[in-house]
Each structure stands twice: as C-alpha cells, then as structure tokens.
Amino acid sequence: MDGRADGGAESAEDAAGPTLTVSEDEARACAARLEPMAASFPDPTEALYLRRLGETAFQVWAPRGTTPDAPLQPWCITTLTAIAETSFLDATNRATVMKLVAGAGPEPPPARAAAPAPEATPAPAPTVVLEETEEAAPRGLPAAFQRLPPRGGRSAPTVGIPVAADGGGLPDAVSAGAAACRAEGGQPTAVFTRLTGEALAAACRRPDGTETPLPALAAHLGATAAR
C-alpha cells in the first residue's frame, strides 16, 4: 500500500530534492563571480551564503530584492575544486570567500526579517551531477548586486577591484606589471561588468586620474579588451 495514501511517511525518493546537472565550465564561471560579488557588498559574509550540496558542491545564495535586507535566493552552483582553481586579485576577497566556504551548511540560509516565514520543513537539498558541457553564456548577477557597488554610485555599471600586493595565484608576468604600476605610484585595477561579472579590462590607475592599460593582467583575466 502507498504510505502517502493514509498519511504515512514519504519514501526516500519522495523526500529527495531535484537533481541538477552542472558542467565544470558552469562551476568555474560561478566561482569566478564570487570575488566581484563579494567586493560589491559592504558586508559580504552577511549578504552572501553558500549552501553545501553533497561533498564538494556549493549553491550560491544572494539577495535579489531592491533593499539590502532583501531575502536571499539561490543564484548559481560551484564546486570546491572550481573555487580552489580561481585566481583571486585580492587576498582579502579570497579570505572572505573561504570564510563563506568554511561556514557552509546543508540547510538554506536563515530567513531575514523582510522575508516570508519559512515552511516548517525546509525543502530537500537538490542533488548535483557534474558533467562536461559546452560553456553556457554567463548569467547576470543578482539585482541587488547590481545596485550595491562598493564606494561608488548605485548606478555604476562596472566594479573595479584593486590588485593587492599580496594577491596570490598570478603569473610572474602579471605580477611584474602590477608591481611596476605600484612603483610609479599607481594602483593596478581589474574592471568587471556588474551585470554578468565578466572581466572588461585592466589598467594602472594613478592619483591624477590618468591610467594606462595592463595587457598582461587583462589577458590573464580573459578581459574583452584583451581579445
């Protein structure tokens, strides 16, 4: 007899969440957005949440509403390997992402005050299946991410991330160009589009407002200006 017909417990199949197929390219694209996303929020550890799915997958949650306290919604899925293979421009941003990874749990993020009360029983976590597929077009970042640029106007279409002197994972040619920029009193900066998290360009920005391109850094990031 079907246990559900008389109010019995659900079967294991019924209780399982949906199965989501994620390619390695999609996981890497999601991981690459974590740094510009973290750099856009005043307190990324409060604005972002990583939900652990299985042993190595993570579901990225971010606000989609029009206010800073908007409820978090799932955005994309990445993996521990994809995050580990991502080159971060600033050690602080990498530390923030790793803090989110370390604090990831199997449950959805806690509901915020502005969010509707959660159901008594959280929805089951989806099952993630990784497979290699053709790289999909990048998805846009959450609406709130577009509206909360750091240290700038709320309508800014791009976000600039300074390349810290202690930033790790950069090739020698890239690090040398960044170091030369700092020696001249400039700040090596990578520019990303706020809508998709795509790298646009890289430049040495000086206090007098002038800037010169950093082609090695742009090429390393796959920036459109270097293509």
- For residue 204, the model assigns a pLDDT of 93
Q: Please indicate, yes or no, whether residues 164 and 125 belong to a single structural domain of this protein.
A: no
With respect to residue 148, please indicate whether it lies within any of the assigned structural domains.
no
With respect to residue 211, please indicate whether it lies within any of the assigned structural domains.
yes
> Which tokens in the block code for residue 76?
């994309």
- For residue 152, the model assigns a pLDDT of 42
- Model-wide pTM > 0.85: no
Which residue range is the domain that position 193 belongs to? 157-227
With respect to residue 2, please indicate whether it lies within any of the assigned structural domains.
no
- For residue 77, the model assigns a pLDDT of 92
Q: Please indicate, yes or no, whether residues 116 and 19 belong to a single structural domain of this protein.
A: yes
Q: Which residues have CB under 8 Å from 39's CB, separation 6+?
A: 90, 93, 150, 159, 161
- For residue 93, the model assigns a pLDDT of 87
Instruction: Count structural domains, the chain.
Output: 2
In this prediction, the residues of the chain whose per-residue pLDDT falls under 50 are 1-8, 12, 114-115, 141, 143-154
Q: Please indicate, yes or no, whether residues 110 and 178 belong to a single structural domain of this protein.
A: no
CA angle 95, 197, 54 (to 5 degrees): 55
With respect to residue 145, please indicate whether it lies within any of the assigned structural domains.
no
- For residue 136, the model assigns a pLDDT of 53
The last residue of a domain, from among 116, 132, 148: 132
The last residue of a domain, from among 132, 147, 173: 132
